[in-house]
Amino acid sequence: MTERVVLAYSGGLDTSVAIGWIAEATGAEVVAVAVDVGQGGEDMEMIRQRALDCGAVEAYVADARDEFADEYCMPALKANGLYLDRYPLVSAISRPVIVKHMVRAARQFGAQTVAHGCTGKGNDQVRFEVATTSLAPDLKTIAPVRDLALTREKAIDYAEKHDLPIATTKKNPFSIDQNVWGRAVETGFLEDIWNEPTKDVYSYTDDPTFPPVADEVVVTFDGGVPVALDGVAVSPLQAIMEMNRRAGAQGVGRIDIVEDRLVGIKSREVYEAPGAMALIAAHQELENVTLEREQARFKKGVEQRWSELVYDGMWFSPLKKNLDVFVDETQKYVSGDIRMVLHGGRATVTGRRSDAALYDFNLATYDEGDSFDQSHAKGFIEIYGLAAKQAAARDERFGNGVDFGTGDL
């Protein structure tokens, strides 16, 4: 039986050429796998047919938009997933679902190898390959661009020579990856980190400099997941898409960052994630209302580690699975409404309400009706500061007290 290779297929020039390139280099038949995670663009049936026209023996096409939103975007939302506190893991969370379908196709069509179109400099090669070995350690992986010397120039020559049904002359100045959670843009003139992004960089967001009239939205959460917008029930996918539209119209979610890639390179990336950033802002504020103090403080560290693991391609790792259990437990009471105003590039929370709130008006108020017994405060402060008081007394005994003449205070 002829060996088969499952290729992650986007429908673009490089992966279209990779079908024949892999076949010639390895003698294997190629099965193309295209996964819709809300990236928009061409119809998936057209992409399926293009793969077959370019020489694939089979074409596996999956509509994974709801799966992606439910099983990947929502965990990222619950974890407030932000790499370097800013990047909402747009590409990082899409790779595991794509690999899941690649492995499924490999089993279905009897393939022994999977392939992707990543270079040897980026994060995605790690995400694809570690996810593959985590789900199917018996499968081998090849990368035509990295392993089989498939450059863009060679791809254009190959496509023209073999008359492949793919455009070869138009070259976008940027490298773009997008899905329903957001859009990532890099390369071209953006590689000079002094250069300001031009208007053509952006697609998901309008210019926030001249915004339309402010848009007020109420996001309803149940267990950390958005279930309604302005009282209208929505699925996770619908919530993201609608917030992409409304927050994007206000220029919310533009991110320009120099980040640390897993391979050790610093890289300048421009992201657009209007829905993701607005929903994360709403979710964070609802957690402020519903999470107990120590629980919330500890979760901050978990969120950072969770985001690092996901960015580094460890979605299916044991530690990430363990952290998921903790995050899910924290979401038990993260239910209620957050009112936000979207305007001029900002998503500003203006109201919160929850039946599970730990905020108590009678404890918080300074006006009549205050139920907080202030007489308890003196003793609390005495005990709370006792350890620091003892340490300060010891410093004084050993001549290490504060020198009030040197500006220490």
**Which residues participate in the annotated binding site?**
8-16, 87, 117, 119, 123-124, 127, 175, 259, 271
Cβ-proximal residues to 123 (8 Å cutoff; 6+ apart), any chain: 91, 92, 261, 262, 263, 311, 312, 313
DSSP string covering 285-324: HHHHHHS-HHHHHHHHHHHHHHHHHHHTT-TTSHHHHHHH
305 counts as catalytic: no
Question: Annotated binding site for L-citrulline, which residues?
Answer: 87, 123, 127, 175, 259, 271
Question: Annotated binding site for L-aspartate, which residues?
Answer: 119, 123-124
List 134, 175, 235, 317, catalytic entry: 175
List 4, 14, 206, 254, catalytic entry: 14
124 counts as catalytic: yes
Cβ-proximal residues to 117 (8 Å cutoff; 6+ apart), any chain: 7, 8, 10, 14, 15, 18, 143, 144, 145
For residues 279 and 240, is the Cβ–Cβ distance under 8 A? yes
- What tokens does 46 get? 């057209």
How many CB atoms are closer than 10 A to CB 355?
8
Question: Annotated binding site for ATP, which residues?
Answer: 8-16, 117
86 counts as catalytic: no
- Please provide the distance, in angstroms rounded to a whole number, between the alpha carbons at the two ends of the chain: 79
List 48, 91, 94, 124, catalytic entry: 124
Furthest-apart CA atoms within the chain: distance in Å = 87
Distance (Å, whole) CA 246 – CA 379: 51
DSSP state at residue 196: P
* Closest alpha carbon to 129 in 307, 265, 316, 268: 316
Distance (Å, whole) CA 338 – CA 354: 9
- What tokens does 45 get? 């049936």
Q: What ranges in 335-401 are assigned the alpha helix state H?
A: 361-364, 377-384, 386-397
For residues 255 and 273, is the Cβ–Cβ distance under 8 A? yes
List 95, 246, 254, 268, catalytic entry: 95
95 counts as catalytic: yes
**Catalytic residue ranges:** 14, 95, 124, 175
